Amino acid sequence: MARSETISALGDVMQLAFVPDDFDAAIKHWTETMGVGPFYLIENIHLDGMKYKGEPTDAVFTLALAYWGDIQIELIRPENDAPSIYSGEYAATEGLHHVCMLVDDIAEARRVCAKQGAEVVIEGKFGTSEVIYVDPGKGTGHLVEILQQDPSGPDLFGIIKAASVDWDGSEPVRTFG
């Protein structure tokens, strides 16, 4: 099989994501011990058209995003018990939950994932950006988030990454606005 038909050929991993038992303690660890920050908080997210395993879900979650060099660190706090990748068989605490890659063509990513037998377990839109999470094999920490960002929208990742350059430890948790 050609490498171009594999999931890794879709793009580079740009994010490591965690679902910690204690969200606030995790932010403190990453900012104070690891020196990663500042984290930007995006609260009570519900993806438009969100589906878990093909069925609509009312899952709501909060994210904290920061950069460690070129790698984005994402901390996730589920806000309810609706079916999602943050509960049930995909729940993970204290270890890696998923990785993320950015793509230019989400339809092509879906095609490649389907060809590889990777099940889409969550899908939806965040504004005009589209995201899928696929399970390319069983087990926690094996999920892959694939995100096609809308280039016409605000460059939130760029803002967060710029804030990490020469960050002095002040304001370890921030919000947009």
Assess whether the previous peptide bond of 38 is cis (omega < 30° from 0).
Answer: yes
The reported pTM is 0.93
User: For 72-90, how does the pLDDT look when each residue is reduced to its tens digit (9 = 90+)?
Assistant: 999 999 999 999 999 888 8
For the residues 16-23, what does the mean pLDDT come to?
A: 94
Whole-number pLDDT of residue 13: 95
Whole-number pLDDT of residue 168: 96
3-class DSSP state for residue 146?
Answer: strand
Pick the CATH number of 3-166 from 3.30.450.20, 3.10.180.10, 1.10.3720.10, 3.40.50.150: 3.10.180.10
Q: Are strands 13-18 and 61-68 parallel, antiparallel or unpaired?
A: unpaired
Domain ranges of the chain: 3-166
